[in-house]
Structure 1
Amino acid sequence: MSDTPNRTLAAFGAVLVYASVIAFTDNYVRVIARDAGLWQFHATRTAMAFAILALVAVSMGLKLWPKRPWAVIARSAIHGTAMLIYFGALAFLPVAQVAAGLFTAPLFVLFFQRYLYGQPIRGVQILAVLIGFAGVVLVLGPEALSGATLAALLPVISGALYAMGNIATQRWCAGETAETVVAGFFGMLGVYGLLGMAVLWAFPLAVPEGPDGFLQRGPVWPTGEFLWWTFVQAAGSLVGVGMFVKAYQMAEVSRVSVFEYVILPASALWGFLLWGESLAWFAWVGMALIALAGIIIARPQRDQVPIASRQ
């Protein structure tokens, strides 16, 4: 067993690559949703991602089989379920509300690490998370705080599962390669996608036209546009999620989880460049708070200790 330093700056760089790539590809989900459903999207993207992974693995001699299959499967199930709930909630809740719920994850990271693993919570960590979350609310707008119903709890549940998956990436899968963890994640989403397609094929629902039918739509004949942007999603997600996994393997979970807030300004930037979408002044204030949270959390602590690598 060797010790891996808490390489906070390197982890932030990995998260920045992840956020930039994912924010770009996710902007085209609205295009994908016009022609096919969520379940077919996940199944098709997994097939494409596995084809790319296989080519890379053969050419670079990578080994995708996990050292601890149970750990990778469990982590994949947790993260995959979080993403299913997140995308599913988009069918009947405002995007702002869903995103705000997901970004409660850093709060849950601190909670789980304190009460499941006995890790102390520093005041500066709480301050950074609260500042970052306040920035998220400003970026998303006042509507992110409205609609406190049972349905509104779904994104928060997604955030809790997302936090658990992030912790599992470091604590359960520290000895796994990034490509192994990525393959497990895509594999689980592919299984979910195939199950969803099978259920909707056997028991079809009334499907609204266009993106409104994304959740209810069963298997359909894919269009060229759907296949192209799903391929872009697959390739981009492999790079982005690979960087995401490396970040959580390099540094403390509670630090990296705050860095993830950078995906919001990245999404806003791509939204402006691709679709001409602009943000209000309070959204820019929110982005400044998000950056401040990242700076606070990245400051080294005197009592910081290395993270044990489970090689």
Structure 2
Amino acid sequence: MNAPQNRTLAAFGAVLVYAFVIAFTDNFVRVIARDGGLWQFHATRTAMAFVLLALAAVPFGLRLWPRRPGPVLARSAIHAAAMVIYFGALAFLPVAQVAAGLFTAPIFVLLIQRFLYGHPIGALQVLAVFTGFLGVVLVLGPEAMTGATFAALLPVISGALYAMGNIATREWCAGETAETILAGFFGMLGVIGLVGMAVLWLVPLPVAEGAEGFLLRGPVWPTGEFLWWTFVQAAGSLLGVGMIVKAYQIAEASRVSVFEYVILPASAAWGLILWGERLSWIAMAGMGLIVLAGVLIARPAPNQSPARSSTASRQ
């Protein structure tokens, strides 16, 4: 049987759609944060995503129920925790900085696979880890390294959990469809959101005005702006994941995984266009080093088939 033909250019186009859609929608989390809370956002976004998935299930023949619920549930919990931290950080940090922290995931994948699963690491991959770490230091800035702000480290913590979730995708959820894993992920985020809303309703805490109160704000009557941008988030996430899955279907994973890093300049570009945010040359150099680390990590070792990217199931 002939191997499937690589459609690299089409895959790159799909990744571009993914990157620019996700980078755009993530920039408006700060708008959502002005009127609502993190937990209400996740619960509302899940409800909207499930409606969209249900509408698409029959015409596209989607299979949403997992073959093995236990592993999918465990993987969803890990990945959802990463995204709760990620979206929490988006309320008060530039999208490009948060995305750079999340894209340390391939580095953590490499380390976790080596020390937990005993996978060998080549010299080139060791170089990639150090290169990526240096890039993270440059992007986060000296305040993160001196401990002046814990907030700047949140994206890296999210990246570590994200890596664990993606390893679970490969190790635990083989044979599950992309839409099944996506539904499990959104479902877990919805449960976390409802629990957070319930806790903050029963035990309300002092909440700052605007985006600064995003993490501690309990359930409130949603504004039209909150509902609109949350819907945009839900639709954008589904579209973005659909594009990245399509890219992996039509081209080799080793090529597509490198394309994914286009989300870093895409996030920076939208931040500049929408909010006038300019990254320093040091931060841009750091992003370049993170991309270089991803390229090095994506190179398959001799006699080893290319692995699926650690960032293929974002959002």
Please indicate the TM-score interval, normalised by the length of the shorter structure.
0.7 to 0.9
SS, match of residue 46 in structure 1: helix
Which deviates the most, 23-32 or 233-242? 233-242
Does the CA contact (< 8 Å) of 1:5 and 1:307 recur in 2?
A: no
Contact 2:99/2:267 (CA < 8 Å) preserved in 1? no
* 1:227 aligned residue: 227
> Do structure 1's residue 292 and structure 2's residue 292 form an aligned pair?
yes
1:173 is aligned to 2:180? no
* Structure 2 residue 35 is matched with structure 1 residue 32: no
Distance 1:150 1:162 in 2: 19
Alignment partners' CA distance in 2, 1:184 and 1:221: 27
What letter corresponds to residue 302 of structure 1 in structure 2? P
Name the amino acid aligned to 2:127.
Answer: L
| Alpha carbons of structure 1 residues 194 and 6: separation in structure 2 relative to 1, 3 Å | farther
Structure 1, 78-87 or 96-105: larger mean CA deviation: 96-105
CA distance in 2, matches of 1:80, 1:99: 16
Report the residue type matching 2:72 in the other structure. V
Tell me if structure 1 keeps the 8 A contact 2:30–2:92: no
Residue 217 of structure 2 is aligned to residue 217 of structure 1: yes
Map 1:263-302; keep pairs closer than 5 Å: 263-302=263-302
Counterpart for residue 162 of structure 2: 162
Deviation sequence 1:120-164 (CA, Å, 0-9, x none): 111112222332332333334333323178887765543332111
| Structure-2 residue corresponding to 1:183 | 183
- When residues 225 and 270 of structure 1 are mapped into structure 2, their CA distance, relative to the original with a 3 A threshold, is same
2:34 match: secondary structure: coil
Deviations 1:67-107 (A, max 9, x none): 12112111101101122234456789998987665444333
Alpha carbons 1:102, 1:159 under 8 Å: kept: yes
Identity of aligned residues (%): 77
Superposition deviation, residue 281 in structure 1:
2.0
> Which residue number corresponds to residue 142 of structure 2?
142
- In structure 1, how many angstroms separate the alpha carbons of the residues matched to 2:100 and 2:267? 14
C-alpha distance in structure 2 between counterparts of 1:11 and 1:277, whole Å:
30
Unaligned runs of 5+ in 2: 309-315
TM-score scaled by structure 1?
Answer: 0.82
Larger displacement relative to structure 2 (119-128 or 40-49):
119-128
C-alpha separation in 1, matches of 2:116 and 2:171: 12
Distance 2:115 2:255 in 1: 18
Is the contact between residue 23 and residue 263 of structure 2 (CA under 8 Å) also seen in structure 1?
yes
Report the CA distance between 1:293 and its aligned residue. Answer: 2.9
Q: How far apart in 2 are the matches of 1:5 and 1:301?
A: 22
* Separation of aligned partners in 2, 1:163 and 1:252: 20
> Deviation at 1:241?
3.4
TM-score (norm 2): 0.81
RMSD: 3.7
- Contact kept? 1:131, 1:290, Cα under 8 Å: yes
- How big is the shift at 1:287? 3.4
Distance in 1 (CA, whole Å) between partners of 2:149 and 2:277 is: 29
d(CA) in 2 for partners of 1:250 and 1:188? 29
**1:146–1:260 Cα change, 3 Å:** farther
C-alpha separation in 2, matches of 1:62 and 1:251: 22
Partner Cα separation in structure 2 for residue 147 and residue 96 of structure 1: 21
Q: Structure 1 residues 281-290 or 76-85, which shifts more?
A: 281-290
**Deviation at residue 46 of structure 1 after TM alignment:** 0.3
Distance across 1 between alignment mates of 2:130 and 2:17: 24
Q: 1:66, CA displacement in angstroms?
A: 1.1
- 1:50 maps onto 2:50 in alignment: yes
Structure 1 distance, partners of 2:7, 2:173, is 17
User: 126-135 or 21-30: which moved more?
Assistant: 126-135
- The more displaced of 206-215 and 274-283 is 274-283
What is the identity, as a one-letter code, of the residue corresponding to 1:141?
A: G
8 Å CA contact retained: 1:97, 1:144: no
Unaligned runs of 5+ in 1: none
Please tell me whether the aligned partners of residues 72 and 184 of structure 1 are also in contact (alpha carbons under 8 angstroms). Answer: yes
**C-alpha contact 1:170 1:248 (8 A) present in aligned 2:** no
Q: Point out the more displaced range, 183-192 or 242-251.
A: 242-251
Which stretch has the larger CA shift, 55-64 or 10-19?
10-19
